[in-house]
A and B are shown apart, each in its own frame.
Chain A
Amino acid sequence: QVQLQESGPGLVKPSQTLSLTCNVSGGSVSGDNHYWSWIRQPAGKGLEWIGRIHSSGTTNYNPSLKSRVNIFIDTSKNQFALKLTAVTAADTAVYYCARYGAHAGGWYSDNWGQGTLVTVSS
């Protein structure tokens, strides 16, 4: 059973870069046909999809965040990572990592991390 676990600083200063990693156990981030995604959720609000990276390395990002986001895979550590630059208070949220597998032509996730709260504050 694949398990995902987010890690990273819980507090980031405004204008700095938010960096999170998602450790994957029970599966390979680079060897299988999956998308690995980051999703966030501000307190009391809905889910916002941030971006994804395919196990082949192809990336796609939310257009509203594209200029500030980078998602990449670290095969040596079996992890994938999120970097979000120039953060503001609006980036304060619980950040989830998730694995998406293919079914019937679409992509669906039944593997999520538990989420990690990142607060942007000076």
Chain B
Amino acid sequence: DIQMTQSPSSVSASVGDRVTITCRATQGIGTWLAWYQQKPGKAPKLLIYAASSLQSGVPSRFSGSGSGTDFTLTINSLQPEDFATYYCQQASTFPWGFTFGPGTKVVVK
């Protein structure tokens, strides 16, 4: 199986800060990685696909990078609406499926 890990599990930040979240896969997945944002009581929202491609309609302050086993989501100039939980998900057709990372919660400092 592929396992996904994320760090940190929680990050405290202020509006205007740059926030960086890391995701690691236990084996190489190329660039088959997505980042989702989830707010309480809502379904996840796709932010980044193929590790670094910005989903249509998502603000450009969100960016993704990485390949293989190590990936990063960066939020530049954090906005009030960005306080949420962020999940990475491996996106290959490996038979063990679309595994999610455990999530990173961005909270107000």
Contacts and interface: CB of A to CB of B under 8 A. Distances in A.
A, B bound: yes
Interface of A: 35, 37, 39, 46-49, 51-52, 60-63, 96, 98, 100, 103-110, 112-115
Contacts, number: 78
Contact of A104 (B45, B49, B98, B101): B49
B91 to A, nearest CB: 3
B95 interface: yes
B87 A108 contact: no
Interface of chain A: mostly helix, strand, loop or mixed: strand
Interface in B70-109: 87, 89, 91-93, 95-103
Given A105-B32, A106-B33, A108-B91, A49 B100 contact: yes
Interface of B: 1, 30-34, 36, 38, 43-46, 49-50, 53, 55, 87, 89, 91-93, 95-103
Contacts of A115: 43
